[in-house]
Amino acid sequence: MRRRCTPEEVPWVPSPRAPGRQDRRGFNSNSMRIAYLDCFSGISGDMFLGALIDAGVSPKLFEQTVAALGVGARLEISRVNRSGISATKVDVVVDGKPGPEQTRAVSREHAHHHPHAPEHPGHGHARHEHGRGLAEIRVRIASAALSASAKETAIGVFEKLGAAEAKIHNVPVEKIHFHEVGAVDALVDITCAAAGAEAIGVDEFVCSPLNVGGGLVECAHGTFPVPAPATVELLRGAPVYSSGLEVELVTPTGAAIVTALATRFGPFPAISIEKSGYGAGTRDLPGHANVLRITIGEARFGMDQSVGATPAGDEIISVLEANLDDLSPQVIGYVTDRLFEAGALDVFLTPVQMKKNRPGSLLTVLAKPEDAEGLAQIVFAETTTLGVRRREEKRRALQRKWEAVATRFGEVRIKIASMNGAVISYAPEYEDCRRIAAEQRVPLKVVLQESVQAYLRK
């Protein structure tokens, strides 16, 4: 299971998966199990747990996870109705009382200055002056009887949450302090989410754009518009919108969980649906089903495809740029190869006229947002640039798939692009044709031509 995600940024698309690659069960597979999260009513930790249970995760797993944490909490699981939709509701009970969906973290330096405020109206926080730091939470999770993968995911989610709060309060992340009741509630939600996400047995989580809601929310530092500061920070790179509901729909815990688990955001993927589940939010909103839906299914790829089909649609990519005017062309070629090996979607150079009338090159790297930081580090390490610019851009991509065709020289893959089911373009895979031309000592253009003819005959 992978980790993994401003309104101006939309989905990223991971590298397609090749048939024959080993799946999570250790078998060669020509399919991929996907869990799609419909966040039309936002997401919180308890909604995610409820959706997982509704989709088949055993409640006993969550009960065992809570017991393994040893924090004096328990779960109450029930069936509720949200605007006509039957859903599973999960409540974390701390010291005999339902805990808040998420207590906001504040730094130790500020903890004694501010009262605790509810994350949602109607959910009060008891006032505590002591709480749990990120280091203590790491130790608590690491020492629990959980799988290594679940521990890693849970700690990663908490670190995202802590990093967001640290940035907002301008303090080191290790000074971030989760207040006692909220820390327990968030600890249970996040650790159970990690264990449940592993148990659901999917290869990828995909998420819809998130409805964040609207209105105002009371935080420890005063009243803020929805989404709250921590939620805004956590949702950098994710597509968000507001349907106009005057209520906070995405909590910091929910934002941390979804951006840690989802590998991309976008429309409903092309899958064969197996099952679905609904997790209920706390409120029953008139005329609006306050639920999170998870849909699980399988995306199957043909046996003759070298990689799986990728869906059409809008996506967000990161664009990295650096000006180079004193770098050897040999080094530039090496850097380009390294960037492609590290996952760059494309790398290209544009001649530019730089200061002092020196000719130079504009190095441009297209990347998935989650790969951008690593690629920027390669640019810094391998070139002489002193700065790398980064921006996120929206691009529309056609649906792509690969089909193998037989020619008299050997098998060649054909890349096929389509829109709304109609083929728009097709082309032989250059590397296949180049390899065959070299091995068989025939002109490359002949191999390219025969590959196209073989595809058209097929």
SS3 content of the chain, % helix, strand, coil (to 5): 35, 35, 35
At the topology level, CATH places domain 313-397 in Alpha-Beta Plaits (3.30.70)
Q: ∠ CA(279), CA(283), CA(288), 5° rounding?
A: 80
CATH 3.10.20.300 location in the chain: 399-457
Cα separations in angstroms, 366 against 143, 281, 329, 340, 371: 40, 38, 20, 10, 10
What is the pLDDT, as a whole number, of residue 2? 39
Closest CA to 370 of 347, 342, 398: 342
Cα separations in angstroms, 186 against 149, 221, 287, 432: 19, 19, 29, 51
Beta pairing class for 31-38 and 204-207: parallel
Quick one: 399-457 is in which CATH superfamily?
mk0293 like domain (3.10.20.300)
What is the pLDDT, as a whole number, of residue 94? 85
Closest CA to 176 of 233, 238, 97, 214: 233
What is the pLDDT, as a whole number, of residue 364? 96
Cα separations in angstroms, 64 against 75, 188, 192, 298: 10, 11, 9, 29
Closest CA to 339 of 392, 381, 375: 375
CATH 3.30.70.1380 location in the chain: 313-397
What is the pLDDT, as a whole number, of residue 24? 40
What is the pLDDT, as a whole number, of residue 270? 82
Q: What is the pTM of this model?
A: 0.59
pLDDT tens series, the chain, 458 aa:
433 343 333 333 333 333 333 444 343 344 689 999 999 999 999 999 999 999 999 999 999 999 999 998 999 999 999 999 999 999 999 876 665 543 333 332 333 333 333 333 333 333 333 457 888 899 999 999 999 999 999 999 999 988 888 888 888 877 776 654 357 888 999 999 999 999 999 999 999 999 999 998 887 667 889 999 999 999 988 999 998 899 999 999 999 999 999 988 888 888 899 999 999 999 999 889 999 999 999 986 433 333 345 555 677 899 999 999 888 888 988 999 999 999 899 999 999 998 888 899 999 999 988 889 999 999 999 999 999 999 999 888 888 888 899 999 999 999 998 877 788 899 999 989 999 999 999 999 999 999 999 999 98
CA distance 347 to 367: 9
